[in-house]
Amino acid sequence: MSEECCGPDEPRKARTIQRVELTRSHRTGDACCEPDPVRNATSSEAHEEGDACCGPALPSKAGVDDDEIEVRPPWWRDIALLPSALSGLFLVAGYAFEWAGIEIPALVLQWAALLTGAYTFVPGAIRRLIRGRLGVGLLMTIAAIGAVLLGHVGEAATLAFLFSLAEALEDRAMDRAKEGLRALLSLIPETVRVSRLAGDTTIPAADVRELDILIVGAGERVATDGVVVEGRSSLDTSAITGESIPVDVHPGTAVAAGSVNGASTLRIEATADGRDNSLTQIVSLVEQAHARKGDRARLADRIARPLVPVVLIAAALVAVFGFIVGDPSTWIERALVVLVAASPCALAIAVPVTVISAIGSASKFGVVIKSGEAFEQLGTIQAVALDKTGTLTRNEPAVVDVRPAAGISRDELLTWAGAVEETSSHPLAAAITTAAPGAAGAVDVVEDAGHGITGRVNGTLVRVGNVRWLAPGVLHSAADEMAEDGMTVVVVEAEGEIAGLIGIRDELRPESAATVRLLQDAGIGITMLTGDNERTARAIAAQAGITDVRAEQLPADKATVIEQLAAARPTAMVGDGINDAPALATATVGIAMGLKGSAAAIESADVAFTGNDLRLIPGALAHARRGRRIMTANIVLALAIILVLFPLALFGVLGLAGVVLVHEIAEVFVILNGVRAARRPAALRSPAATSVPAQV
């Protein structure tokens, strides 16, 4: 077991993934990430240490041969359990012979059980001791040796068997917790068809390069990120983003690695290499979570680390007391029992197995948590600040209202505006041209930056601009009404006369209001931050059900607001743009919406959502709160076991065998309890319960 922490690794960039051989993690090795060849000696010598501190190295599937990937076998075929299984068989047989009165075979079998079980932890404990490190394995080693010297070979064998079994079960629990992350890599196909000048050819997915044209047939997975260049279909992205409804795609649509194509063949231009795409980003980010630990993990370490030498001193004092009172045999035996009773086995794994289980599970439903610390802090959140543009809204401005002047038809108004805006690069121009797809291009177009644009449409001089450039005139009250509804008002003028108004708005995501209700029902305070003007901001906030609105916020202003909110109670910031990066970094927990958001936002955040469904927020908070409760229960149970067993061992109420049995049963319970954190919360098992269609 790992008892010491070597500190967090340097965080890697989101688009960096290390190619390593996938082997089992062995938490019995050195706590500072050195491999232990004793545990599971048949595994590759090149394995990475998987203790709770340094975390496991995770593979990039692209480029890793099948024989390099080790899949966790069923327990009855797991060779790592073999030493413990043999130790148990020898022990049972030994006791059977002892009860039958056949002493020599019984003693031989008990010695076999002792040596087989001790093989899994004694060598590692000795190596750590040579390097000046104390650990739980050392306590068990001393206890076993002492029991043998006192003639209790059977009890020493029982201790070795139960401790080795608990270690092996812990290894499997940790491996199982990490399999959810490894499963993400299986979403990348082994091979992919690529269009070449000489014709279509099949190549390994790892060999895909940016700008390659991929041919993805019906039912096939997309090998890397790209943009559709030919074909129309629907993609199942549920395994990547957690969004349950297939996404319609067409030429120009960006697609993510691991998505499953629907009924039609697509040609996709790769925008990332096969070894370096959004899916490997997810793996890389979650990999970082295994390398850092949160507050409660550090609390467990602070308790467990000094407890080992304290236990050794206490056991030594008990033995010395035996010599003082003239009964060294009895008190030395009790000292050994005390040694086992006070060992922090369960405490050492109380938090790590929970954190890794929960983080690995979260990655499967689209929540990438970068560290154990972030996971634990996520469970404390009492307030959430939401950016407006791109988070609460679609970040896709659209025409939502058209008010033509008297004598002008709606289509005529849109045609004039669309023709003039056709060549404009202004963000609102795209909304207008989309609303008027058949408009012919204008001539003599002149753009006045910050005001509007002028051009001739079939001989008519048309100007399109904001209300500061073109006064709405007789439509002034209509312009005010549209602005009150959160629209950006565009005025259209034809031959010097006001032709009408066009209202453009970045619409709320369909799940925004439901998400706000879910958070409020959970007792979470909601604040909306935006750089928009006060009137527009409050109109959008009212639709979402948010009352605390901070408008006209620059990036530095957002960070200041978050700092103030976080000073009062733990606060999460949710955003997706570069302007959100300072606030994300300032918050108790920064949450970036979608791995396709700005790189600055993702780097600054502690948590990243691979999809854009806001209902992931209450689901992720519920998941983290549940994990935090499990951590607390594990720590309390581990400490309670020590506090209860210590006096019972000191006063001889329980012998060595009884203490070992209770201790190891408690450790197994802690492991199983920690694995429960991998269960998906109800809010994420049934997103449709909000009665809002998933955002696609």
Active site residues: 387
How many CB atoms neighbour CB 679 within 10 A? 15
Helix (DSSP H) and strand (DSSP E) numbers for the chain: 23, 22
Output the six-digit token pair for 62.
């692209």
Output the six-digit token pair for 46.
């090149």
Q: Are 241 and 258 in contact (CB under 8 A)?
A: no
Output the CA angle 316-320-325, nearest 5 degrees: 150
Q: How far apart are CA 320 and CA 603, in angstroms?
A: 57
Q: How far apart are CA 333 and CA 351, in angstroms?
A: 32
Q: Are 695 and 616 in contact (CB under 8 A)?
A: no
Residue 166, φ and ψ in degrees, nearest 5 = -60, -40
The dihedral over CA atoms of 253, 257, 263, 267, expressed in degrees to the nearest 10, equals 60
Side-chain half-sphere CA neighbours of 69 within 13 A: 16
CA neighbor of 144 nearest in space, from 134, 129, 154: 154
3-state SS class at 152: coil
Q: How far apart are CA 623 and CA 444, in angstroms?
A: 59
Q: Are 514 and 691 in contact (CB under 8 A)?
A: yes
Q: How far apart are CA 97 and CA 425, in angstroms?
A: 88
Query: Any alpha helices (H) in 522-598, and if so which ranges?
Result: 534-544, 555-568, 581-586
Q: Are 504 and 398 in contact (CB under 8 A)?
A: yes
Q: How far apart are CA 247 and CA 255, in angstroms?
A: 9
Q: How far apart are CA 367 and CA 184, in angstroms?
A: 13
Alpha carbon distances (Å) from 4 to 29, 141, 352, 356, 664: 11, 18, 12, 17, 20
3-state SS class at 3: coil
Reduced 3-state DSSP string for 218-283 = CCCECCCCEEEEECCEEEECHHHHCCCCCEEECCCCEECCCCEECCCCEEEEECCCCCCCHHHHHH
Exposure of 351 by Cβ count < 10 A (0-12 exposed, 13-18 middle, 19+ buried)?
Answer: buried
Output the six-digit token pair for 616.
């992931």
